[in-house]
Amino acid sequence: MVTGILGKKVGMTQIFDENGKRISVTVLEAGPCVVQSIKTVEKDGYVAVQLGFERVREKRVKKPQREDLKAKGLTCKRYVREIRCEDASSFKVGDEMTSDIFQKGDYLDIVGTSKGKGFQGGMKRRGWSGGGDTHGSMSHRAPGSIGASSFPSRVFKGHPGPGQMGNDRITVQNLKVVEIDSVSNTILVRGAVPGSNGSYLIVRFAKKKPVAPREVKEEILEETEAVPDAVSGTAEELVTQSNEPEGKDSQKKNDQETTQSEKTEETPNEETTKEGKEE
């Protein structure tokens, strides 16, 4: 089973639950994705399925990938990523995956690229409180001293400071699925998702939450209820029994009762036969 699928962020909106409580949700377009390649332990050293999402013109794809897809009879895709899995034997190149792998109540981990905000100072990027605003302070938003001169005479690695903000790979965990529309392949998840509208995402099952129990389709339940517990007889007998009218069984029972009563009237009693012999 593949643990995820590729998708796109459509935007944010709000819905109301049964109690009238407002829920902020993000609308995702998940799939359809096409299996472009399958990675195996023997050949690649790991097991994964390469998925492609959203068709694109051929000239937008590099020639080696384009020729490989042509040889497989596939079209070029804009967003291509690999999804790790334990067993990929059930998949073949060209298979299509949709949002049907998820259902209402599942928890998802969504991977995306955050919005880029350019070069920012330490107060916005790192949450510094800043210097004093009064009493003649000349340092308000500046970093100030970041290392002593005698020891260690340098700045420790990883010290927070100004720099580029955003444009990072972000994973938001444990977002609950509120609604799913399998026709349009859209998923509504509770909460915010990294990236701007139209950005591409990896949508996968949450690692820290168990998978919700799968729902059985109503069609399968109706078929199982229609079948009796024990069925005896050959197929021809069952067909003839099903074709017989409803009142035919009652007529058969009445005919059997009449024949039995006639037989009892025709056969004399044993006592009468014995008396006739003695006389």
pLDDT band (50, 70, 90) for residue 83? very high
The reported pLDDT for the residue numbered 197 is: 95
Strands (E) located in the chain: 4-16, 22-30, 33-39, 48-55, 77-84, 96-97, 107-113, 118-120, 163-165, 169-181, 186-190, 200-205
Q: Are 32 and 52 in contact (CB under 8 A)?
A: no
Element (H, E) at 64: helix 63-72
End-to-end CA distance of the chain: 94
CA distances from 73 to 27, 36, 90, 211, 258 (A): 32, 10, 20, 35, 75
Mean pLDDT throughout 256-262? 58
**More confident: 266 or 154:** 154
Please tell me the class of the 4-116+165-211 domain: mainly beta
Q: Which residues pair with 79 in a beta bridge?
A: 53
Mean pLDDT throughout 48-60? 93
The reported pLDDT for the residue numbered 145 is: 85
pLDDT band (50, 70, 90) for residue 147? confident
* pLDDT surpassing 80 at residue 57: yes
* Domain ranges across the chain: 4-116+165-211, 221-278
Long-range contacts of 103-106 (CB under 8 A, 24+ apart): 103/177, 103/180, 103/212, 103/214, 103/215, 104/177, 104/178, 104/179, 104/180, 105/176, 105/177, 105/212, 106/176, 106/177, 106/205, 106/206, 106/211, 106/212
- Render pLDDT for 11-36 as a digit per residue (tens, 0 to 9): 999 999 889 999 999 999 998 999 99
DSSP assignment of 30-48: E--EEEEEEE-HHHHSS-E
* pLDDT surpassing 80 at residue 234: no
Tokens linked to 115: 């919005």
CA dihedral 73, 77, 82, 88 (to 10 degrees): -30
**More confident: 102 or 270:** 102
- Lowest mean pLDDT segment, chosen from 180-189, 255-264, 268-277: 268-277
The reported pLDDT for the residue numbered 264 is: 52
